[in-house]
Structure 1
């Protein structure tokens, strides 16, 4: 693109690998996503951003475990952090828990997606369950419709129903870690046959699957906290 005007644009869920922005001007530029390298005026800012996130959120240091005990501690910490977030959500009108902020997932959609993430990487990969899905599980929005994998985007379950489901899937994590030797973290598991995510036959190290769920849990809580602040303000204005 040359001399295009993108002022005020929102670019969502795109792969920009290898993209170069040259001679661009931005009074304000907001980027969220995952980056191996992000070079701004010749400086890779990824390590700088990671260090700043660690400063703002000291718990992140405990979310990079290398032992089974460390993973158990990390998931327990995430559960404690989420408990505070859920307490904030309980103060909202239940209808607001289904509302989106800036077209991001609603609070209940976020919890349903975390159920799907746990089913995918713990149930399907670590525990080897071919079809671990609950009907309320919610894949990411760009996932193509897949027979055998639920994707009911019109469902409006109550908070307690979703929390009960989520609690059952959080228990899967602890069950998977219970008695798991440290050496097993480097084992490579083959995703079983059947439709779903990750694709059947994919080779996934156990630690990698656990790390993905930790990453999903931490980031989606950040987004949920951000959006709850907006929803609380919205409720106070009515």
Structure 2
């Protein structure tokens, strides 16, 4: 167990470090960034929490005696009426949910096409670029549909992009340097989305209630049995959340483009 008392660790970087069960007392974390961090079971007392941006899975989180999870859930459902469709209960609900995913992503892709092609490789605030987001969704479909549900042990495309915190796995691609065109990535997306479409169109009560057979070999997810329903819910969540991230980042890229245009229009 390490003990840092009175040490100045300003600007330190902690990556793949196990700090579970740690104690922070009179510690300054202002300006810190947390990404892919597990905080379940944490207890914060006497904290100063202002001008903080939190994005993640919020459940059973109590702030000043109030469980904020249901409040956040209700507010998000009010902002995004289609969000409630992402938790379907039957085959017809899953088909409607995928209809919604396709419709919303068509709108987002149309928005992206209005930007210069090079902007779509540009990260925003350290997050993935637009094309990287699409590549990650191809990976998610390969993992949870083609591998877990359909039983292909190595369904990966070279453009697939796992999440950043996933450890390198033999056979699973992770090329952060490649810069494919939007059309190339969209061709991959259309193929993977058609796989999901075929699956949900063929769903029955029995197949939705079934569990997958464990798939051996390196990859993700691990070789376990999963409820088919849960695999599909993972994909719906991935599609929903990453589209919101993409819309957020496209807005930032549009703002940059306007600023650049304004700058060019100024007299010399």
Gaps of 5+ in 1: none
Counterpart CA distance in 2 for 1:49 and 1:32 is 11
Q: In the alignment, which residue of structure 1 is the partner of 2:125? A: 102
Q: In the alignment, which residue of structure 1 is the partner of 2:39? A: 16
Identify which of 207, 229, 238 aligns with 1:184. 207
Give the CA deviation at 1:27. 2.4
RMSD: 1.0
**Contact between 1:191 and 1:198, CA under 8 Å: does it hold in 2?**
no
Q: Where does 1:120-135 land on structure 2 (aligned, <5 Å)?
A: 120-135=143-158
Counterpart CA distance in 1 for 2:149 and 2:95 is 15
Give the CA deviation at 1:190. 2.4
CA deviations 1:187-212 (Å, max 9, x no partner) are: 11123112110012x12100000000
Q: In the alignment, which residue of structure 1 is the partner of 2:164? A: 141
Identify which of 232, 246, 255 aligns with 1:210. 232
Give the CA deviation at 1:15. 0.6
Q: Does 1:75 align with 2:90?
A: no
Identify which of 65, 72, 75 aligns with 1:52. 75
- SS of the equivalent of 2:212 reads strand
CA deviations 1:156-188 (Å, max 9, x no partner) are: 000000001000000110122233211221211
- SS of the equivalent of 1:12 reads coil
Question: Is the radius of gyration larger for structure 1 or structure 2?
Answer: 2
Equivalenced residues, count: 237
Q: Which moved more, 1:202-211 or 1:22-31?
A: 22-31
- SS of the equivalent of 2:128 reads coil
- SS of the equivalent of 1:204 reads coil
Counterpart CA distance in 1 for 2:30 and 2:110 is 38
**Contact between 1:137 and 1:150, CA under 8 Å: does it hold in 2?**
yes
Identify which of 212, 218, 234 aligns with 2:256. 234
TM-score by length of 2: 0.86
Q: Which moved more, 1:173-182 or 1:46-55?
A: 173-182
Counterpart CA distance in 1 for 2:166 and 2:185 is 21
Counterpart CA distance in 2 for 1:47 and 1:37 is 9
